[in-house]
Amino acid sequence: MKVPLLDLKQQYQSIKAQIVPAVLELMESQQCVLGETVEQLERSLADYSQCAHAVGVSSGTDALLCSLMALGIGPDDEVIVPTFTFYASAGSIARVGAKPVFVDIDRDTFNIDLNKLEEAITDRTKAIMPVHLYGQMAPMAEIMALAKKYELKVIEDACQAIGCDQNGHRPGQLGDCASVSFYPTKNLSCFGDGGMILCEDEKLADLCRSLRVHGGASQYHHSMIGGNFRLDALQAVVVRVKLKYLDGWQRRRQSHAKRYDQLLGAEVGKPRVAEGNSHVYHQYVIRAPSRDQLRKFLADKEIGTAIFYPSPLHLQECFAYLGGKEGDCPVAEQACKEVLALPVVPELTDEQIEYVSQCINEFYG
């Protein structure tokens, strides 16, 4: 039985009848960048995320970058970020001239370790960038308490966490802002790159809107240096159609995760959901002894898997100038050797999940 990690065509076929007319209507209008279509998506996503404001931008990475710029973070500033995450989290910090300060993660949730976070705060710390990894939120109440204590900004990297919540709060409600990605592999995706900034503060939202058009106060008049962070209307059209299905897709992911939890043996570490969290399972990630051998075994069985992530950021070549070394973040370093993402997309069948689980149990049998 073939079980791909992801099949974008399958999802597209299920909603093609709604996607194609919406795209054709946009093509006839030739309103290609920003405009009413993007504004409609911004209103819809703000409502969905229970945030006051949403600002459409060109990618999840640019959402992080624009947020950092809007909060005035730059050279000589430090931003604390977990080392176990996608490059864009720390890369955006470095791009504004600030210093990423890497900290270790909690073993159970893969999110930032609160104890290591407070230890990393210095007089130069300007912000914290918690990453809501794999689909559940970092401990925001505790993070916000630290931010208040040390007068720090908080930029939530929610690129993998659209629709999750923590004690009734969604990304963007507690931090200064949150960044969302619509990359094709995300739970809510478009046909290329796209993203959104979520926040409660109207002035911050307006500043992000200005920064996304080169810092323009009006056409050809620039009050600040910004960037080209505009969201294409085509991507907004696609996301607007998919948003109607998102909650149903999330429930399918959660159902799949529950079934994996029931079927997988004790040899693998299953995802832990922190108290008060809902998990939307952007990825269903296990800890697997002999991970690389298991992955090859599953590939031979035509089962797709992925490793998110094989190397922590503090050991990446591009951040060598920061002086990171092995042993700095032992929990993250160990996770890099053990984590394995299993298929969990909404389109999976019960039979496929049972097959994947059976093969994993067979490997360890």
Q: Which two tokens stand for residue 214?
A: 């080169």
**Is the pLDDT reported for residue 218 higher than 90?**
no
CATH 3.90.1150.10 positions along the chain are 246-364
Q: Using pLDDT thresholds of 50, 70 and 90, give the confidence band for residue 223.
A: confident
Q: Which two tokens stand for residue 26?
A: 């946009």
CATH number (3.40.50.1820, 3.90.1150.10, 3.40.50.360, 3.40.50.300) of 246-364 reads 3.90.1150.10
pLDDT of residue 184: 97
pLDDT in tens, 111-129: 999 999 999 999 999 999 9
Q: Give 284's strand partners.
A: 342
pLDDT of residue 39: 97
Q: Considering only CA atoms, which of 277, 89, 44 is closest in space to residue 171?
A: 277
CATH code of the region 8-243: 3.40.640.10
Query: Measured between alpha carbons, how far is residue 122 from residues 111, 119, 142, 265 in Å?
Result: 21, 8, 18, 44
CATH 3.40.640.10 positions along the chain are 8-243
Q: Using pLDDT thresholds of 50, 70 and 90, give the confidence band for residue 222.
A: confident
SS3 103: strand
pTM value surpassing 0.75: yes
What average pLDDT score do residues 21-47 get? 93
pLDDT in tens, 312-327: 999 999 999 999 999 9
